[in-house]
C-alpha cells in the first residue's frame, strides 16, 4: 500500500492520526493544507514528511496556467 500519492496536483495520503483504529485517506489540494496536516500530526515519520513537503512545493508549479 502506498502511503502517499500524487493525483492531478492533489496530494493524497493516509491520515496517520486515525491509525491503528481506522484507515482513511486525506486529499490535500494546496501547500497550506499540507502544512496544516503536518502540524496536526496527520502526516508522521521523516520519509513521509519529506515526500509531503516536496509534493507541496510542486503543487503551485503544477497549477500554473500558461
pLDDT in tens, 33-55: 999 999 999 999 999 999 999 99
Kindly state which CATH superfamily the domain 4-62 is placed in: translation initiation factor eif-2b, domain 1 (1.20.120.420)
* pTM, two decimal places: 0.91
Domain boundaries, the chain: 4-62
* Cβ–Cβ < 8 Å for 13, 26: yes
Q: Please list, residue by residue across 15-43, b when 16 or more beta carbons sit within 10 angstroms of its beta carbon and e when fewer do.
A: bbeeeeeeeeebebeebebbeebbeeebb
* Cβ–Cβ < 8 Å for 27, 18: no
Average pLDDT of the chain, as a whole number: 96
* Cβ–Cβ < 8 Å for 40, 15: no
Give the percent of the chain with pLDDT over 70.
98
Amino acid at each position: 500500500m502506498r502511503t502517499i500519492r500524487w493525483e492531478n496536483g492533489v496530494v493524497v495520503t493516509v491520515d496517520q492520526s486515525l491509525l491503528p483504529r481506522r484507515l482513511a485517506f486525506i486529499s490535500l489540494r494546496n501547500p497550506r493544507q499540507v502544512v496544516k496536516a503536518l502540524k496536526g500530526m496527520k502526516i508522521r515519520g521523516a520519509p513521509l514528511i519529506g515526500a509531503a513537503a516536496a509534493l507541496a512545493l510542486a503543487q503551485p508549479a503544477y497549477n500554473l496556467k500558461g
